[in-house]
């Protein structure tokens, strides 16, 4: 199904346009005029000893990245700021997403969260985590309570 956006112009007409867009969104949730969801591309690699996550983070300051590691998942979040090259410029084409993003990635095996180390170079975020030993058991001793 194809949607046609009608642009009316002035302030009153802008408000009317927003109301029409909201009606279309309520009727068909796939219709979104104002929201752009950004999901950076991610690769997950696995070796015998570790799991490596690569994320495409071009244009993001490392200070704007937030990483949380748990046993079976990793959360990567952050903000890409709008790039302002010229004031009073008009977009002819705008494809580079910006704003807040968040990725929650399920890991193929449990990892030691304390072993996680991240590096960021040339727009690629690399996170390395050691796997927890598979099949390692912990023997529990039974003590007498008398």
Please give the CATH topology (third level) of the domain spanning 38-130.
Immunoglobulin-like (2.60.40)
> CA-CA distance, 43 to 56, in Å (whole number)?
9
Strands 50-56 and 42-46: antiparallel
pLDDT per residue rounded down to tens, the chain (146 residues) = 556 555 555 566 667 766 776 676 666 555 444 445 678 999 999 999 999 999 999 989 989 999 999 999 999 999 998 877 777 777 777 788 888 999 999 999 999 999 999 999 999 999 999 999 877 666 777 877 77
Domain ranges of the chain: 1-35, 38-130
What is this structure's pTM?
A: 0.66
């Amino acid at each position: 199904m194809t949607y046609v956006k009608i642009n009316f112009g002035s302030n009153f007409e802008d408000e009317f346009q927003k109301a029409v867009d909201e009606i279309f969104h309520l009727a068909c949730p796939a219709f979104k005029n104002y929201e752009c969801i950004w999901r950076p591309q991610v690769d997950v690699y696995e070796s015998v000893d570790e799991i490596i996550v690569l994320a495409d983070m071009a244009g993001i300051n490392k200070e704007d990245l937030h990483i949380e590691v748990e046993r079976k998942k990793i959360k990567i979040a952050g903000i890409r700021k709008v790039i302002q090259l010229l004031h009073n410029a008009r977009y002819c084409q705008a494809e580079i997403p910006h704003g807040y993003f968040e990725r929650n990635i399920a890991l193929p095996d449990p990892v030691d969260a304390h072993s996680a180390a991240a590096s960021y170079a040339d727009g690629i975020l690399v996170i390395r985590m050691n796997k927890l030993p598979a099949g390692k058991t912990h023997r529990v001793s039974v003590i007498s309570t008398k």
